[in-house]
């Protein structure tokens, strides 16, 4: 495989506005099998051992949707312009080989990436191609079949399309800008492009029905559920922080960090799903650095650990147990705050509350307890 001495980067092109697939947002940002379309594509490359780095090219309107910690560059008005922006961003990074992939192909699997890299051992450019097996027709404007086309020598194009970095940068700098893909850019520059066998499951999401098909292909092979439980005691103070939202109250919560009992329970649920212990293991309370800390740092760490292992957060459900303060009016803000930290849509996060009917320590308003459940999925 073209690994070893070669430094391979992947560029995932996510700058399109494609809304033909429905859902009101560009298809690369829609949910699919427990993650977003783009997240699936990214995971395939960032999890591949031969790939040193992954760069997302995004539309300026989508900056807020980017996953945390991902390297990204703004795209241009055309696909070719966007790819060139990605290529230029990799300049001077020692990149030998670049794989360019459409974000709308979330089902790409390691063997196809391997096949493209293998072909680049002996070629400057390589791309997956699929045979055309159906007969081909021309259909006129009235919906009438007007004729037939020979399918000999025709193939269907897929991505990732792989190139020696220097040659594709040069080719893109000479490109007209209206090319459909990078193979077209390469051919226009006179390059030979090796065809490797494509994968029928590596579909491009284009129409609404493609989501169901992609979900079937992706399947869900690994579902993990974790629970978390936390309690903090009331003490002097004039506010409490719950799920990242400061709530005025006639007491504060005591604890080493900001005592955000909601965020702690959720963080422990994510660690639990990963069999990674609890907050105390990762952020020892004996370490003075965490005194008064914003608990968002703990939640971000758990989310990053999950992401690094290829898991996406499918949903989380949090129940705060207290008589006061009243949570209901603030639950939406808490949901938004947690979703922002976790990089998921708010619809995947539930925040609710209950009293304990004045029974027990929560009933006597000695403290607040929280239960949380988190589901992580990996295909």
Min dist. Cβ of residue 230 to Mg ion (A) = 4
Task: Name the token pair of 189.
Answer: 């520059």
Which range, of 16-24, 264-272, 282-290, 300-308, touches Mg ion by CB under 5 A? 264-272
Q: Of 28 and 257, which has the nearer Cβ to Mg ion?
A: 257
Which range, of 85-93, 203-211, 225-233, 314-322, touches Mg ion by CB under 5 A? 225-233
Which range, of 82-90, 263-271, 280-288, 371-379, touches Mg ion by CB under 5 A? 263-271
Min dist. Cβ of residue 327 to Mg ion (A) = 17
Which range, of 38-46, 224-232, 316-324, 332-340, touches Mg ion by CB under 5 A? 224-232
| Contact code string over 228-247 relative to Mg ion, x by CB under 5 A | --x-----------------
Min dist. Cβ of residue 231 to Mg ion (A) = 7
* Count of residues near Mg ion by CB under 5 A: 2
Asked if residue 201 lies in contact with residue 107, where contact means CB atoms within 8 angstroms, the answer is: yes
Q: Of 16 and 367, which has the nearer Cβ to Mg ion?
A: 367
Q: Which of 264, 337, 348, 379 binds Mg ion (CB under 5 A)?
A: 264
Task: Name the token pair of 208.
Answer: 């609404």
Can you say how many angstroms the Cα of residue 200 is from the centroid of all Cα atoms in its chain?
A: 23
Which range, of 50-58, 187-195, 261-269, 303-311, touches Mg ion by CB under 5 A? 261-269
Q: Of 161 and 370, which has the nearer Cβ to Mg ion?
A: 370
Q: Of 233 and 309, which has the nearer Cβ to Mg ion?
A: 233
Task: Name the token pair of 339.
Answer: 């979703």
Give the CB-nearest residue to Mg ion: 264
**Burial of 74 (C-beta count, 10 Å sphere; 0-12/13-18/19+):** middle
Cα–Cα nearest to 16, from 100, 83, 98, 90 = 83
**184 makes contact with Mg ion (CB under 5 A):** no
**Bridging pattern class, strands 8-14 and 136-139:** unpaired
Min dist. Cβ of residue 369 to Mg ion (A) = 10
Q: Of 2 and 273, which has the nearer Cβ to Mg ion?
A: 273
Asked if residue 121 lies in contact with residue 1, where contact means CB atoms within 8 angstroms, the answer is: yes
* Residues in region 38-77 near Mg ion by CB under 5 A: none
Residues within the interface to Mg ion (CB under 5 A): 230, 264
């Amino acid at each position: 495989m073209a690994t070893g001495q070669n430094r391979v980067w992947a560029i995932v092109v996510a700058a399109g506005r494609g809304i033909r697939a429905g859902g009101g947002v560009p298809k690369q940002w829609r949910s699919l099998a427990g993650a977003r379309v783009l997240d699936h594509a990214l995971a395939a490359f960032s999890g591949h051992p031969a790939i040193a780095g992954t760069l997302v090219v995004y539309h300026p309107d989508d900056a807020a949707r980017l996953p945390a910690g991902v390297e990204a560059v703004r795209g241009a008005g055309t696909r070719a312009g966007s790819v060139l922006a990605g290529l230029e961003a990799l300049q001077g990074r020692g990149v030998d080989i670049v794989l360019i992939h459409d974000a709308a192909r979330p089902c790409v699997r390691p063997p196809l990436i391997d096949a493209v890299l293998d072909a680049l051992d002996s070629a400057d450019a390589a791309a997956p191609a699929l045979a055309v097996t159906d007969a081909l027709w021309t259909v006129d404007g009235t919906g009438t079949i007007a004729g037939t086309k020979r399918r000999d020598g025709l193939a269907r194009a897929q991505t990732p399309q792989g190139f020696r970095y220097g040659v594709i940068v040069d080719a893109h700098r000479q490109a007209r800008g209206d090319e459909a893909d990078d193979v077209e850019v390469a051919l226009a520059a006179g390059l030979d492009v090796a065809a490797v066998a494509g994968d029928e499951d590596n579909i491009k999401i284009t129409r609404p029905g493609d989501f169901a098909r992609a979900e079937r292909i992706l399947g869900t092979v690994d579902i993990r559920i974790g629970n978390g439980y936390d309690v903090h005691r009331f003490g002097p103070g004039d506010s409490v922080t719950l799920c990242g939202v400061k709530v005025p109250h006639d007491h504060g919560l005591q604890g080493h960090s900001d005592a955000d009992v909601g965020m702690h329970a959720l963080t422990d649920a994510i660690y639990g799903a990963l069999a990674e212990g609890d907050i105390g293991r990762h952020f020892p309370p004996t370490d003075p650095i965490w005194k008064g800390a914003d608990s968002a740092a703990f939640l971000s760490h758990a989310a990053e650990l999950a992401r690094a292992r290829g898991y996406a957060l499918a949903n989380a459900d949090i129940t705060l147990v207290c008589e006061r303060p009243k949570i209901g009016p603030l639950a939406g803000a808490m949901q938004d705050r947690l979703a922002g930290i976790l990089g998921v849509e708010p619809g995947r996060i539930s925040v609710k509350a209950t009293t304990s009917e004045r029974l027990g320590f929560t009933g006597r308003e000695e403290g607040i307890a929280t239960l949380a459940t988190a589901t992580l999925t990996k295909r």
